[in-house]
Amino acid sequence: MKRWAGQVCLFFAFSLAGTSVISARLVSGKLGTFTIASVSLFFALLFLLPACGKKLMESLCEMSAKDVFSLVLQAIFGIFLFRMFLLYGMLFTSSMEAGILTGATPAFTALFAMALLKEPFSGKKLAGIAGTVGGILMIQGLLNAGNSFSLLHLGGNMLVLCAAASESTFNIFSRVFAVKTVSVQKKAIHPLVQTALVSAIAFILCLIPTLFEAPVRRLSEIGLGEWLSLLWYGLFVTALAFVFWYAGIKRCGAFTAAAFSGMMPFVSMLLSVIILGEQVGWQQWMGGVLVISGMILIGNGSIPAKVSKLQEVKSIKEQVVK
């Protein structure tokens, strides 16, 4: 069971993250971008801070300046920039397109893993990545003749792609932080604590721009459905998803994370059909099957964790020396 623990955590992390597009759609246009982010992070912290207990203060006392800087980078790319690009992008594109375009995350993460972490890979892993990316293309309909990105939504689509790139950068920073902790034989930060700290930093970053969006007036005008969406965004998309993510990335390499990130567009597509009533064709369903198949290949083709960590530690140390 331990062998699959990391992959199970990543599965739940990205499945919950896939609901972010639907949650954002229900409040997009009714609240400011940073207001949505701030309120959802506030709900997340209401759950996380009491759950951390004494572990939070103990971790803060043991952290170095480099650790704090790493967490700040994770907050900037994983929450602040990701949500800013996604929420602004959804003002100009559909929830279906936005969800599907987050499928660029596996490709970005895989490229970063090869270029920056020098992470080892196997034939099954590459086949899994290819299957995931191919599934994303099928879901989008790019493999069908005559289909392409809608020019009317090009600006929104580009913003969502920037969100995917931010998410991938966050994935790599998280993995680097986990590997560095192992390399210096430091006690790992508990996933709950790490999620709370990153959420708190992102909350502070979002507060100032929120003040320019008339948050009090606009929040007073929304209904129960919008408040429930914000609550879901905070508790599940932020708190639980990030806890699962940090628990998983400590056990799995960046290639594995790249494959499982394909769950984001797949879940988004399913929820767009079930909740928003959007229509999809057979190629989208086949794409979903490819995404799942790619994740299975990645799991079966995983290089032993010790080998992967040793390689990443060596790569990170070489970069520090340079």
pLDDT digits (tens, 9 = 90+) for 111-130: 777 777 676 666 776 777 77
Return d(Cα 206, Cα 208) in angstroms, integer. Answer: 6
Checking if the pLDDT of 218 tops 80, the result is: yes
The token pair that represents 314 in the structure block? 């060596």
The better pLDDT of the pair 172, 291 is held by 172
pTM of the model: 0.79
pLDDT digits (tens, 9 = 90+) for 45-100: 999 999 998 889 888 888 888 899 999 999 999 999 998 998 888 777 766 667 66
The token pair that represents 136 in the structure block? 């994303």
The token pair that represents 280 in the structure block? 């999809």
In whole angstroms, what separates CA 103 from the centre of its chain? 11
Q: Which residues of 64-90 are buried (b: 16+ CB within 10 A; e: fewer)?
A: eeebeebbbbbbbbbbbbbbbbbbbbb
Q: Which of 258, 87, 62 is nearest to 168 (CA)?
A: 258
For residues 122, 127, 129, 132, the Cα torsion angle rounded to the nearest 10 degrees is -160
142: how many CB neighbours lie within 10 A of its CB? 15
**Backbone torsions φ then ψ of 28, nearest 5 degrees:** -65, 130
What pLDDT is attached to residue 100?
A: 66
Q: Which of 22, 20, 57, 5 is nearest to 197 (CA)?
A: 57
Q: Domain limits of the chain?
A: 2-321
